[in-house]
Amino acid sequence: MITEDRRELNKRFREVFGILEERGKIIKNDRNGRGLGDFAKKILNNRSYGHIVRAYLNDDDKRCINYEQARRVCNEYGVNHSYLLEGEGTPFGFDLPAPVEPQGSDSPTPNILFTTTEAFAGSPVDNSSFVQETHDFFRIPGLGGGGYVAFPINGNSMEPVINSGDTVICKEIDSINEIKDNRIYAVRSNGKIWIKYVHKIYDGGNRRVKSLKLISANYLEYDPFVEEVDMSTKLYEVVRRVSEL
């Protein structure tokens, strides 16, 4: 008998699978490493088990993915373990801690999370990135709404545009397709973070963004480099620079 928690797990798996398809990480009829058989090989250890994956995706089929297979999905495709296994957070990445409005205050709620560079770059990418920190929030005029994060800059690679010791305020973008070339973004991937001008590099066949060219403002000391895009990559547009905070 399939328990209710397994059915809920399978529902989340279907959602995650759909997102992976939208992002081009899985193409059911692909013969170049992203097909359903390739997925079955990674998750079920057998390329011929594509029909079982299809059963998991079928609302009318009673078969459900198990927890060990779900863990493999997380490990292979950068899915948030907390979301897929426990239903907490979001499928890819983390939810910023929510600001708490002071009781008895008529002032607007602080909406920008201030953290350290190391904590913000924390790996693995999930809610635990902030566990060891006190959450400090602040507010500056002109930036309403939520989802902002701020952290200090260490290093001179973006001088004179952004100086070492400055604080940058960033807002996560929903899709890599929203990137606009020659703008400054915080690129967060595999426990590292870069503040750079960004150029998209496309897969010639299907026009998907496969990597990013990261360019420093201080180009005399720092050469451009290319960073591959994967499921752990998160991008935040730099919206403000603060020299003193």
For residue 109, the model assigns a pLDDT of 76
For residue 38, the model assigns a pLDDT of 94
Residue 237 or residue 108, greater confidence: 237
How does residue 140 score in pLDDT terms, banded at 50, 70 and 90?
confident
> Structure tokens of 84?
């897929």
Q: Once rounded to an integer, what is the mean pLDDT over residues 184-191?
A: 84
Nearest of 113, 102, 171, 166 to residue 138 by alpha carbon? 113
* Whether residue 200 is found in the same domain as residue 118: yes
* Lowest-confidence segment of 43-57, 128-142, 154-168, 211-225 by average pLDDT: 128-142
How does residue 41 score in pLDDT terms, banded at 50, 70 and 90?
very high
For residue 97, the model assigns a pLDDT of 55
Q: What is the 3-state secondary structure (H, E, C) of 154-223?
A: CCCCCCCCCCCCCEEEEEECCCHHHCCCCEEEEEEECCEEEEEEEEEEECCCCCCEEEEEEECCCCCCCC
Domain that holds residue 227: 112-242
Per-residue pLDDT at 106 exceeds 70: no
Q: Once rounded to an integer, what is the mean pLDDT over residues 67-89?
A: 86
* Whether residue 215 is found in the same domain as residue 117: yes
For residue 223, the model assigns a pLDDT of 93
Q: Once rounded to an integer, what is the mean pLDDT over residues 76-91?
A: 82
For residue 121, the model assigns a pLDDT of 60
Query: Model pTM?
Result: 0.57
For residue 101, the model assigns a pLDDT of 57
Residue 112 or residue 205, greater confidence: 112
Query: Is residue 47 one of the residues assigned to a domain?
Result: yes
> In the chain, how many domains are there?
2
* Whether residue 177 is found in the same domain as residue 125: yes
Residue 190 or residue 67, greater confidence: 67
Strand partners, 213: 199, 226
Query: Is residue 104 one of the residues assigned to a domain?
Result: no
Q: How far is CA 60 from CA 31, 69, 134, 158, in A?
A: 28, 20, 46, 54
Domain endpoint, select from 86, 102, 134: 86
* Whether residue 75 is found in the same domain as residue 129: no
How does residue 125 score in pLDDT terms, banded at 50, 70 and 90?
very low
How does residue 124 score in pLDDT terms, banded at 50, 70 and 90?
very low
* Whether residue 153 is found in the same domain as residue 208: yes
* Whether residue 69 is found in the same domain as residue 162: no
